[in-house]
């Protein structure tokens, strides 16, 4: 459980301020919050990364994933779009966007995104084997 400090900040926020947030460690904390269902804290930490690195696709995807888990699919789709603007060949983002579209009833578009994600993952996998 995350506790509030004397300055009104959570433990995770104080830690990230102290270490002059190294995006990797803040990302780890955000993922941990997300897995524990602490979605507000996860969003805050992912957004902290995006403030420092606006093109950090892992953090952008993290924000989208959290919104999707919270049932805020419209907001999730906006963030998946932002992530894909920076990394249009990211298979996982395409796949997750597709799942979210299916949750909102846009099955054709969702399946198209899922297929694109699988295709990208397979082409990356095949090209690695050829090396």
**Using one digit for the tens of pLDDT, what is the confidence trace for 74-121?**
999 999 999 999 999 999 999 999 999 999 999 999 999 999 999 999
> Where in the chain are all domains bearing CATH 1.25.40.10?
73-131
pTM across the whole model: 0.78
Token pair in block for residue 70: 């919270």
CATH number for region 73-131: 1.25.40.10
DSSP annotation string for the chain: ---B-TTS-BHHHHHHHHT---HHHHHHHHHHHHHTT-HHHHHHHHHHHHHH-TT-HHHHHHHHHHHHHTT-HHHHHHHHHHHHHH-TT-HHHHHHHHHHHHHTT-HHHHHHHHHHHHHHHHHHHHHHHH-
CB distance 42 to 33 below 8 Å: yes
pLDDT at 7: 53
Q: Give CA separation, 111 vs 73, 96, 101, 102, in Å.
A: 16, 11, 8, 7
């Amino acid at each position: 459980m995350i506790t509030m400090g004397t300055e009104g900040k959570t433990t995770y926020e104080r830690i990230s301020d102290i270490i002059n947030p190294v995006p990797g460690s803040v990302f780890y904390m955000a993922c941990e919050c997300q897995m524990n269902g602490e979605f507000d804290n996860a969003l805050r930490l992912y957004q902290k990364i995006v403030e420092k690195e606006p093109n950090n696709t892992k953090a952008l995807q993290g924000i989208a994933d959290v919104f999707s888990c919270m049932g805020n699919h419209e907001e999730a789709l906006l963030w998946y779009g932002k992530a894909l603007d920076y990394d249009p060949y990211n298979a996982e983002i395409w796949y997750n966007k597709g799942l979210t579209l299916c949750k909102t009833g846009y099955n054709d578009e969702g399946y198209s995104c899922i297929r694109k994600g699988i295709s990208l993952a397979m082409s990356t996998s095949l090209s690695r084997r050829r090396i």
